[in-house]
Amino acid sequence: MKKVFSRRAFLSSGLSMFGAAACANAPAVSLRPTRRPEGFASRAAPGAEALVKNAQLGGDVAFSVMDVKTGLTLEERGARDGLPPASVMKAVTALYALDTLGAGYRFKTQLIATGPVEGGVLKGDLILAGGGDPTLDTDALADMAAGLKAKGVREVRGQFRTWGGALPFEKVIDASQPAHVGYNPSISGLNLNYNRVHFEWRRGGDGYQVTMDARSGRYRPEVQVARMVISTRSRPVYTYKDRGDHDSWTVSRKALGGRGARWLPVRKPAAYAGEVFRVFARSQGITLQDGGELRATPKGKALVTHQSAPLRDVLQGMLKYSTNLTAELVGMTATRARTGQVQSLDASAREMSRWARTELGVSGARLVDHSGLGDASRLSARGMTQALVRVHQAGALRPILKDIEMRDDSGRVNRNHPIKVQAKTGTLYFVSALAGYMTAPDGTEMAFAIFTANTARRAKMDQNANERPPGARSWNRRAKQLQQDLIERWGMVYGS
């Protein structure tokens, strides 16, 4: 296990005040007088409670902001309350993976031979063995097939098998989500294209032409492991059934226009990757007999190995695009490295919760996954902000967070805004969160977390509906405006 930062380093970096006055009876307002120099800071700083009231979100609004150099709590509201963090959770997952695996860790996907290669003939099985890589795509499988040919293999006498047992299979990340959403795919040790299949339709003279393919940058092979049928019904828009050897989808004809496309989740990830690899092996003149998925850990010689980018780059992409599958796979891989095994997504989330409490000092952390997709997870604004302050000196997180664009009064992006923010956003219906770092006009650096949730409105939603719940769009817009308003307030009051 390679630690990027340690609890001892946290405590020796001048932040040991967390155990004393900095966290006890935290002030609700600035400990410094408000300054009003020219320009941005000459505006009167609005009161935090007035901003919350004006947002009209209902439910819970909690926030905490701290000075990163001193650990001093500058302002809080409901900061001890546990609320759903949504995708802000991915920042915790990134720290968990970096601390456990190290920034240079690379995921491996291998072609393993169970027998010798003699005269271009593999006398044994060929196994496509996944190592939990969340970024494996169709282009990579094409390169692996070319690599197999370059090794001199032209024939496989045994069977072609896939193995996804490096991590436990999970049919979905969150069972409460609609079946068709691409951000809630299955999880396996062998994954392809974020376990999504590309569904495209085009209307012609004889009806619709439909394709289901595994496209990536250079290729788009069609697949049979996921199939689509157009139905004459009006509702629901999509249905899904497991047909054993393939995912069976139907879509409402009335929901389709002249043409379009969307990504659908894959529920048979190992079979999906295996089918696509066989296509490219065949293009290299190597015909493979499908032997299905292997249950036991494969034994043999690795003929070809594909490595992911370094973990730091993988995590930066995860934080930028908020990919749920990446979060779950890196979190589970970290748990396996820490404990020697990972039995389930739920068990891995419990281990990460324990780590967050003991290593980051995030008291009360209760996490049900690594992505924040499940709304039963709970983090407090104070705990999240404390964690951000503790890891700031190590520099492990802030450089890979996304720059958050501040806007002017008309809603346009203001690239010259005097406050700079690097943070992670989190959004579910009637849940909005933002946590990270801000640099004020005078250079003061602060860590903050803002959690908002109207769980009563969320509980009334129809989870299987295809449409956005009434009022969710405007609620989210007001929540994001509140986030900017609070950040601007802190810039005026504590950093002008």
| Predicted confidence (pLDDT) per residue in 188-203, tens digit | 999 999 999 999 999 9
Task: Specify the pLDDT at position 37.
Answer: 38
The mean pLDDT of 44-55, rounded to a whole number, is 93
Percent of the chain with pLDDT over 70: 91
Q: Is the pLDDT of residue 176 over 50?
A: yes
Q: Is the pLDDT of residue 211 over 50?
A: yes
Q: Taking the domain 7-103+326-494, which CATH number applies? A: 3.40.710.10
Q: How confident is the model at residue 381 (pLDDT cuts 50, 70, 90)?
A: very high
Q: Is the pLDDT of residue 32 over 80?
A: no
Q: How confident is the model at residue 40 (pLDDT cuts 50, 70, 90)?
A: low
Q: Is the pLDDT of residue 407 over 80?
A: yes
Question: Each residue of 413-439: pLDDT tens digit?
Answer: 999 999 999 999 999 999 999 999 999
Task: Specify the pLDDT at position 26.
Answer: 37
Q: Is the pLDDT of residue 6 over 80?
A: no
Q: How confident is the model at residue 7 (pLDDT cuts 50, 70, 90)?
A: very low
- List the single range of 56-60, 253-257, 371-375, 460-464 with lowest mean pLDDT: 460-464
Task: Specify the pLDDT at position 467.
Answer: 76
Task: Specify the pLDDT at position 20.
Answer: 31
3-state SS assignment for residue 334? helix
Nearest to 85 by CA among 471, 482, 353, 462: 353
Q: Is the pLDDT of residue 70 over 90?
A: yes
- List the single range of 3-7, 8-12, 66-70, 289-293 with lowest mean pLDDT: 8-12
Task: Specify the pLDDT at position 161.
Answer: 98
Q: How confident is the model at residue 401 (pLDDT cuts 50, 70, 90)?
A: very high
The more confident residue out of 235 and 128 is 128
Task: Specify the pLDDT at position 491.
Answer: 96
Ordered strands of the 126-129 beta sheet: 290-293, 160-163, 126-129, 108-113, 301-307
Q: How confident is the model at residue 410 (pLDDT cuts 50, 70, 90)?
A: confident
Q: Is the pLDDT of residue 282 over 60?
A: yes
**H/E element, 330:** helix 324-339
Task: Give whole-number Cα distances, 63 to 9, 78, 134, 248, 383, in Å.
Answer: 26, 7, 32, 45, 10
Task: Specify the pLDDT at position 45.
Answer: 86
Task: Give whole-number Cα distances, 446 to 267, 307, 415, 432, 443, in Å.
Answer: 42, 37, 20, 20, 10
The mean pLDDT of 402-411, rounded to a whole number, is 91
Nearest to 254 by CA among 236, 278, 270: 236
Q: Taking the domain 107-308, which CATH number applies? A: 3.50.80.20
Q: Are the beta carbons of 432 and 480 closer than 8 angstroms?
A: yes
Q: What is the dihedral of CA 332, 336, 341, 347, to 10 degrees?
A: -40
Task: Specify the pLDDT at position 494.
Answer: 95
Question: Each residue of 290-344: pLDDT tens digit?
Answer: 999 999 999 999 999 999 999 999 999 999 999 999 999 999 999 999 999 999 9
Nearest to 385 by CA among 328, 324, 450: 450
Nearest to 392 by CA among 95, 100, 77, 105: 95
Q: Is the pLDDT of residue 137 over 70?
A: yes
Q: Output the average pLDDT for the chain.
A: 91
Q: How confident is the model at residue 4 (pLDDT cuts 50, 70, 90)?
A: low
The mean pLDDT of 444-466, rounded to a whole number, is 90
The more confident residue out of 38 and 58 is 58
Domain residues of the chain, as ranges?
Answer: 7-103+326-494, 107-308
For the entire predicted model, the pTM comes to 0.91
The one-letter amino acid code at 134 reads P
The mean pLDDT of 432-451, rounded to a whole number, is 98
3-state SS assignment for residue 69? coil
**209 CB-contact burial (10 Å; exposed 0-12 / middle 13-18 / buried 19+):** exposed
Percent of the chain with pLDDT over 90: 86
